[in-house]
Amino acid sequence: QVQFVESGGGSVQPGESLRLSCVVSGMRIDNTPMAWYRQGPGNERELVAGILYYGAQKYLESMKGRLIISKNNAENTVYLQMNDLKPEDTAVYYCNTYFTPGDWGQGTQVTVSS
């Protein structure tokens, strides 16, 4: 059974940074495109960052330049560095596979407010 355990969220002020982590079990991420998603209040879940084959990366347009997605294959962990956070980034953040996401983890709450 594949499981995703996200952590690293918190309450921050605009302009601050957070680094999210996602420990994956039940599958290897070495050759699997992975992604971070988010779901804000009243919104549908959307993809914010993906790391594809050969390290190619994709980012949500509104967050380009503020995100870095990476992964540590040895630790089977995916990371999301988020900089210059804005109030509209407030959401629950999840990781999953990039193509055909499976069951979702609990996510990690990110709240940006002054």
How do residues 34-62 score in pLDDT, each as one tens digit? 999 999 999 999 999 999 988 899 999 98
Cα 95 off chain centre by: 5
Question: What span, in angstroms and rounded, lies between the C-alpha atoms of 58 and 46?
Answer: 13
Cα 43 off chain centre by: 16
- Burial (Cβ within 10 Å: 0-12, 13-18, ≥19) of residue 64: exposed
CA distances from 64 to 3, 35, 36, 37, 48 (A): 28, 15, 14, 14, 9
Supply the pLDDT for residue 86: 96
Supply the pLDDT for residue 20: 98
